[in-house]
Structure 1
């Protein structure tokens, strides 16, 4: 009995096995215990943390993280260009999750913080990032979220009628003619729904497109956010585009835009939004 109690006490005293996390920049961070104070500086990462049941561990987020609703009560730490490093340091996080494109990762590390840079752009990325964040959080079976996403996207695809399949789509993700390319997670969703994409894969995930390119491509359907939709038909030559002539333009509200633009747990909802657009516009 004495030997058993000694072994039990040793087991309690020993720290959990350390986990080495290699992020998307190739930097390795050692996590010695499940972090209890987390800062997330990218909305898709914020949503992933919450979906994995660790929302209560968040102590600060970027200005664009707004889902789920409980994160709106957390301190706002700026965006990519104006991250408030001093406030992050004051929050004393165990780990900071940042975008690959963030400019503050090295500065945060220099201050002694553990930083993990992740930025999913494709379906494969999302699945991988789920696993990585699950490891950071110490959450088993993070892939359950991926299985839910896959099932939801498949259900959305089954709702698209045959006459809408193959329709050629131009998806403008941001003003200035930034498009959703075939190899982006948005483009992959379109493909899974059976739609075409006027953006060839060699242009990358989110290329900036010349207006004339869209005119020549002549998409049958346009997907665009509310802000960018103003004056669409007045763009030079765009009145000749079939989608505009036939009124096949889906304008997404700001809330829908958030869901559509975040590669994370709500991708099944994004697929449903796109599928509804295809049903209502492309099959008419």
Structure 2
């Protein structure tokens, strides 16, 4: 089987199912596992070079609608005449379903079922330990600083928050994302600010600039020990690596029990 992945989270799902050796090309932002960086670069996820995709002669293409604008890729795939699968996860349960769908499409049904079972079991274990603390921290997730974008209720980070007995401060917003401003964040009254700028490496995000925002001065959640720069790949990608993200978040919020 020759597989092309057009989205980092798809690449990660394939790798977690033991299909790394079958991946023959990836989008430019796929970087895990590290070995995929040596594969043919098919361009950025919003501007895939379909001629290069076709030249690789894949037997399956795994696409995604997880980022606005990826619809164009799907429209072009229809003209290639190559089997393809389109993932479009919103919540954690959707990610489980996507893993099972990829497993079914690649003859890895048993592996996919086992992976989903392991994820659910471990997340339940983490959730049980977190719930024993009795607190419900309010988490502000920052996808982008200006304009401010944060996950709304219909997003897997709402589920990630709940898994550690916390709450996404914009969980009552019905859409996938919430656009606001720094004053709006203050009004949401978070306990922690979790910064995961989409597409920006963790080391390039400077906490000094975040805690010095005028609207945030004097706010408890904006103190240095309450602002955390997180690895974008563990939280913004709907893949099995979210489990690692949940474990790390639990350790961050409850260091005494993890």
Task: Give the TM bin, normalised by the shorter chain.
Answer: 0.7 to 0.9
SS in 1 for 2:157: helix
> Which residue of the other structure, out of 189, 195, 211, is the alignment partner of 2:166?
195
Q: CA RMSD in A?
A: 2.2
Go from structure 1 to structure 2 and tell me whether the alpha carbon gap of 1:83 and 1:279 turns closer, same or farther (over 3 Å shift). same
> Which residue of the other structure, out of 99, 113, 138, is the alignment partner of 2:107?
138
Aligned length: 244
TM-score by length of 1: 0.78
Residue 163 (structure 1) shift? 4.8
Residue 67 (structure 1) shift? 1.2
Counterpart in 2 of 1:277?
Answer: 252
Counterpart in 1 of 2:21?
Answer: 56
Residue 280 (structure 1) shift? 4.5
Counterpart in 1 of 2:59?
Answer: 94
Matches within 5 A, 1:104-119: 104-119=73-88
Which stretches of structure 1, 4 residues or more, deviate above 4 A after TM superposition?
A: 161-164
CA-to-partner distance for each residue in 1:228-253, whole Å, 9 max, x for gaps?
A: 7451123231113221147311222x
- Unmatched tracts of structure 2, length 5 or more: 197-201
> Matches of 2:224 and 2:255 in 1, distance apart?
13
Matches within 5 A, 1:163-178: 163=133, 165-176=135-146, 177-178=148-149
Counterpart in 2 of 1:184?
Answer: 155
Go from structure 1 to structure 2 and tell me whether the alpha carbon gap of 1:229 and 1:247 turns closer, same or farther (over 3 Å shift). same
- Verify: 1:67 aligned to 2:32, yes or no: yes
> Matches of 1:140 and 1:99 in 2, distance apart?
20
Counterpart in 1 of 2:126?
Answer: 156
Are the counterparts in 1 of residues 158 and 171 from structure 2 also a CA contact under 8 Å? Answer: no
SS in 1 for 2:214: coil
Go from structure 1 to structure 2 and tell me whether the alpha carbon gap of 1:165 and 1:73 turns closer, same or farther (over 3 Å shift). same
> Matches of 1:228 and 1:114 in 2, distance apart?
43
- Unmatched tracts of structure 1, length 5 or more: 1-35
Counterpart in 2 of 1:209?
Answer: 180
Q: Which has the larger radius of gyration?
A: 1
> Which moves more between the two structures, 152-161 or 108-117?
152-161
